[in-house]
């Protein structure tokens, strides 16, 4: 009874009820922290993989764009005495450019979806999942 009254007085004073835990509680908390850390590492690795893939493909498209512009300029200079071919050269270059932009947009959307799904996986685990199958 006295212990209950002391606990009530501590709560009323705004102090937490401090009770010593068992060693098993500490081990359980350590296991939970380990599992959360592993999940965090897994999520961070996945996010870096997503970004890396997107940036690799984006840079490949930029390289392709630079090469296409160089090729178009060389063709235009080679056909300098036939200006009628310039609109065709420009049109082909523009079509390739628009296709690369569309690929950028498409991959950006896919990347965003993957990031959202990955971030949802990074939300804190409910206690029952942290404690493992044996707690169920």
Give tens-digit pLDDT for 9-43. 656 655 555 555 555 556 668 888 888 888 889 99
32 within domain boundaries: no
26 within domain boundaries: no
CB 130 within 8 A of CB 35: yes
17 within domain boundaries: no
Place of tokens 């890396």: 52
Tokens of 121: 């996986």
62 within domain boundaries: yes
Whether the full predicted model's pTM is greater than 0.75, yes or no, is no
Tokens of 63: 């390289």
114 within domain boundaries: yes
Angstrom distance (rounded) from CA 94 to CA 65: 10
pLDDT of residue 135: 47
pLDDT of residue 57: 96
pLDDT of residue 136: 44
Angstrom distance (rounded) from CA 136 to CA 131: 9
Angle (CA) 133 135 136, round 5°: 75
Domain extent for 49: 37-75+85-122
């Amino acid at each position: 009874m006295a212990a209950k009254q002391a606990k009530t007085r501590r709560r009323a004073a705004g102090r937490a009820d401090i009770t010593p835990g068992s060693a098993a509680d500490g081990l359980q908390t350590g296991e939970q922290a380990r599992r959360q850390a592993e999940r965090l590492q897994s999520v961070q690795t996945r996010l870096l993989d997503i970004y890396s893939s997107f940036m690799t493909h984006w840079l490949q498209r930029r390289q392709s764009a630079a090469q296409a512009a160089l090729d178009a300029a060389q063709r235009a200079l080679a056909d300098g005495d036939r200006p009628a071919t310039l609109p065709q050269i420009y049109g082909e270059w523009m079509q390739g450019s628009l296709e690369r932009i569309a690929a950028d947009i498409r991959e950006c959307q896919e990347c965003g979806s993957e990031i959202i799904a990955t971030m949802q996986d990074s939300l804190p685990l409910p206690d029952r999942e942290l404690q493992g199958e044996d707690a169920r």
